[in-house]
Structure 1
Amino acid sequence: MSKLSALGCEPVTGNPLAPKKRDYKVTNRLQEGKRPLYAVVFNFIDSRYVNVFATVGGNRVTIYQCLEGGVIAVLQSYVDEDKDESFYTVSWACSVDGNPFVVAGGINGIIRVIDTGSEKIHKSFVGHGDSVNEIRTQTLKPSLVISASKDESVRLWNVHTGVCILIFAGAGGHRNEVLSVDFHPSDMNKIASCGMDNTVKIWSMKEFSSYVEKSFTWTDLPSKFPTKYVQFPIFNATVHTNYVDCTRWLGDFVLSKSVDNEILLWEPKVKEQTPGEGVVDVLQRYPVAECDIWFIKFSCDFHFKEVAIGNREGKIFVWELQSSPPVLVSRLSHLQSKSVIRQTAMSYDGSTILCCCEDGTIWRWDAVTNSSD
């Protein structure tokens, strides 16, 4: 497939579903608590901490480290002052001087920025009118984070100054909860969002780049910053017929999933004559059995070679992204893993896969090297 060659995808011969040599085994299982865990994320922002990950569940944010032999060490834990808080999402970010932050949000709509160096709250972002469903970090400028909310908006924040720079909402915005959002990996100005209105929208903040820069040097109260609205996306896609709860860029292509038991890889084609409207070219489909409930999020390794996603029966599917047709690398299952997997996290090189579950457990799977390798 010529379009995929841009991503380095090579056609494969033989059985496309034949497993790769790498398999995984369970090396650890932790019971963090009784409340559901909704998110687990490795730190890809700082190369010193790529084996460190964070989880959220209830009003707690916990930071762990993956060690040799399947060991998982607890490094830090934060309990929010509001007992009724239920965090749904967490992301890694950093200050302008490189200090690592974790940024978490959930049912209360307040975003907590926690300084892992001082182990204290650095900032609290108040602005969303309802739950925060996902937070993502701009890897090119990791002081910038973006949040997706039940209030039908997406907001761009600067964790260094506490400023809300842009709000993506309005006439052309989402018409229901925004469930997922992602920064383009190389184009600073592009983001993708998706939600309960069954759409995926691509937005540009190019004309507001001066405001993004201004946010880094803002010294007045954050509430006095001239926050701007972006009301119209540059692309609006109806790729799915139901809620779209996870979207990620793969180069200039988009990965997205709904509740129809598959992840889609597609190319957005913007019509120059009619900005905002476009054509979707579906390139590949990655089937995921028993994945027909919403708020199940997939993850990729750092180089986007593979994608891992859990399902409602506690199983994990690992697909090779850099091949056409798609190759199912592994289907992971364990007799004791029966709970809904809300999110997976693949390590930097894909050798470790974590998942967090509805029953409050964290599972660690590590790659097994076959003797034939």
Structure 2
Amino acid sequence: MAKAQAGTSTGTGAGSAHAAPAPPPLARAEPAVSYKYRHTASLQEDHREPLFCIAFNTFDLRHRDVFASVGQHRATIYRLLPAGQFEVLQVYEDGDRGRKTGGGGGSSAGGGGGFSDAEEGAAAAAGAAGSGGGGGRHGSSASAAATTPNGEHFYCCKWSADPDTGAALLLLAGEKALVRVLDVSRGCLVATFAGHGKSINDIAVHPDRPHLFLTASEDESVRLWNLRSRTCVAIFAGEGGHRNKVLSLDFHPWDGHRFLSSGMDNAVKVWSLAPLERLLEESERAADGCVGGPGGGGPRRAFPTRVVQQPLFSTLRVHNDYVDCVRWLGDLVLSKSVHDIITLWRPHSQAKHRRPPPVPEGGGAGGSGAGGSGGAESEDDEDVGVSASGRLGGEAVAGRATKIADFRLDESLRTWFVRFAMDLRHSVLACGSAKGKVFVFCPLVSGASSSSAPLQPRARLTAKGCNTVVRQTAVSWDGGTILAACEDGSIQRWDRDSGEAGGEEQ
């Protein structure tokens, strides 16, 4: 489905998580922070096309004022200035000839520095040959519906760090199903990863081992990569995997063995890397996707990439439409669908349940996951949702989801691929809308229960002239700055302030 024409979801109904009464509140106390922000700056990138991702560098807090945005075939790296402005540091443009430009890609003046590396031309050529195709996604603007001149359109970016030198790395991915790895300190492309069959929608970097990262693709799979050895370690797909495009990923903040995935099949899944530890160790000894050979023992051969088919936990009952953003909050989960709600919930112990008989053609839930369980359910608990799709068969992992709280958004207009963000202390959660607003919450709720009314935002942030879709927000490490990446190629900035201008505090 092209996102140029599909800014809104096709499912029906409001999402919900069926819950046991009065679940326990979050153990952490609500932080004493201000939720008053004022609008301080804006810029518009000259391509004026959707910015699908924006991300602060939180891997190295020496560079906590540096962030990146991606839109069209361009990635731009900025620095926040104390006066409430932006400085453009570097601009990378993907092209068949590896064309690079210096600073100044935005409307604000900035320092120069482009990407210049002889490897980029070869990598771009390899990328064109390895492209997996897949449907485009270019926002709702009519001008953006055309394919970019060089075929690439970036949808996601994530920061990492070189495990050997500590240099800041920026990972980019999108329409071409390739992951580009940029060494920001040297200003060059250092690696390109190919393997997915369709576009890549999200990237997640391991919190403790930044050379490990995940990618979520429209080919219904998640892949685990080792940046150091240029190896695809595992593919998470198959019997218990997603049945439609995978949209969002997140590693657990302190248990690096667990990660979340969600997608257009309405499912949220928890996966584990624990059974792969020996394989991960072997991947450290690999080189360029191969093991063995001189010094490695035995003939040189392709790395034995593992296919993982069963997650630890899976549920279809928290949302009944596309789940386009999912994040850990401790051991709890925050997830968002196309409705005006972000849900905080607790995944419970999982068990294997025998799948019901396949539903006759034309009945029940389809392989696209367009809504609910659609057939017989496990008798274990009403919260356990197992799709009756005949595509799986055999055993399936299912789990209970206990809702803790809902956070009330507004003006979503059933728009999907809209993502929220939090600061490192999880004291500020920010999510955009389809009409240019940003809603700010405290995610560390206290005393909420499943029967409580949705929690209202602490602040509603607006910017003059901004009335288009906010595709993603970014929150600085301490919650002091909130950025919004918008459909028209603009970036809006709000800074925490003791005054009341720029936002309505609840």
User: Structure 2 counterpart of 1:351, which letter?
Assistant: G
Q: What stretches of structure 1 move > 4 A for 4+ residues in a row?
A: 272-275
| Higher radius of gyration, 1 or 2 | 2
- 1:155 Cα deviation from its structure 2 partner: 0.6
- 8 Å Cα contact 1:35/1:58 also seen in 2: yes
- 8 Å Cα contact 1:137/1:183 also seen in 2: yes
Residues 322-360 of structure 1 show CA distances to partners (whole Å, capped at 9, x for unaligned) of 233446221011231111000000001101000111100
Structure 2 match to 1:278:
399
Structure 1 match to 2:336:
257
- 1:272 Cα deviation from its structure 2 partner: 4.4
**Aligned equivalents of 1:117, 1:321: Cα separation in 2:** 34
Seq. identity, %: 42
- 8 Å Cα contact 2:231/2:288 also seen in 1: no
**Aligned equivalents of 2:75, 2:470: Cα separation in 1:** 18
Alignment partner of 1:53 out of 67, 75, 81: 67
Structure 2 match to 1:347:
476
More strand by share: 1
Structure 1 residues 369 and 11: CA distance shift in structure 2, 3 A: closer
Structure 2 match to 1:226:
304
Alignment partner of 1:323 out of 426, 436, 445: 445
Structure 1 residues 280 and 32: CA distance shift in structure 2, 3 A: same
User: Structure 2 counterpart of 1:173, which letter?
Assistant: G
- 1:9 Cα deviation from its structure 2 partner: 3.6
**Aligned equivalents of 1:327, 1:213: Cα separation in 2:** 46
Alignment partner of 1:288 out of 396, 409, 430: 409
**Aligned equivalents of 2:420, 2:178: Cα separation in 1:** 24
Residues 28-77 of structure 1 show CA distances to partners (whole Å, capped at 9, x for unaligned) of 11111222110000011111111110100011111111110112111111
Alignment partner of 2:467 out of 338, 347, 363: 338
**Aligned equivalents of 2:85, 2:254: Cα separation in 1:** 34
TM-score under structure 2 length normalisation: 0.69
Alignment partner of 2:153 out of 86, 92, 96: 86
Aligned residue runs from structure 1 range 1-373, under 5 A: 3-6=24-27, 8-10=28-30, 21-33=34-46, 34-82=48-96, 83-97=150-164, 98-222=166-290, 224-238=302-316, 239-272=318-351, 274=353, 276-291=397-412, 292-324=414-446, 325=448, 326=455, 328-370=457-499
Structure 2 match to 1:16:
none
- 1:217 Cα deviation from its structure 2 partner: 2.9
Count of residue pairs brought into register by the alignment: 363
**Aligned equivalents of 1:273, 1:236: Cα separation in 2:** 10
**Aligned equivalents of 2:220, 2:23: Cα separation in 1:** 37
Residues 147-201 of structure 1 show CA distances to partners (whole Å, capped at 9, x for unaligned) of 1000000011122221111110011110000000111111121111000000001
- 1:121 Cα deviation from its structure 2 partner: 1.0
Structure 2 residues without counterparts, runs of 5 or longer: 1-21, 97-149, 291-300, 354-395, 449-454, 501-506
Structure 1 residues 327 and 320: CA distance shift in structure 2, 3 A: farther
**Aligned equivalents of 1:2, 1:244: Cα separation in 2:** 23
- 1:218 Cα deviation from its structure 2 partner: 1.8
Structure 1 match to 2:393:
none
TM-score under structure 1 length normalisation: 0.93
- 8 Å Cα contact 2:203/2:216 also seen in 1: yes
- 1:120 Cα deviation from its structure 2 partner: 1.1
- 1:23 Cα deviation from its structure 2 partner: 1.1
State the SS of the aligned residue for 2:83.
Answer: helix
State the SS of the aligned residue for 1:208.
Answer: helix
User: Structure 2 counterpart of 1:263, which letter?
Assistant: I
User: Structure 1 counterpart of 2:492, which letter?
Assistant: W
State the SS of the aligned residue for 2:425.
Answer: coil
**Aligned equivalents of 1:293, 1:126: Cα separation in 2:** 30
- 1:244 Cα deviation from its structure 2 partner: 0.4
Structure 1 residues without counterparts, runs of 5 or longer: 13-19
Quick check: 358-367 or 78-87, which moved more? 78-87
- 8 Å Cα contact 1:196/1:244 also seen in 2: yes
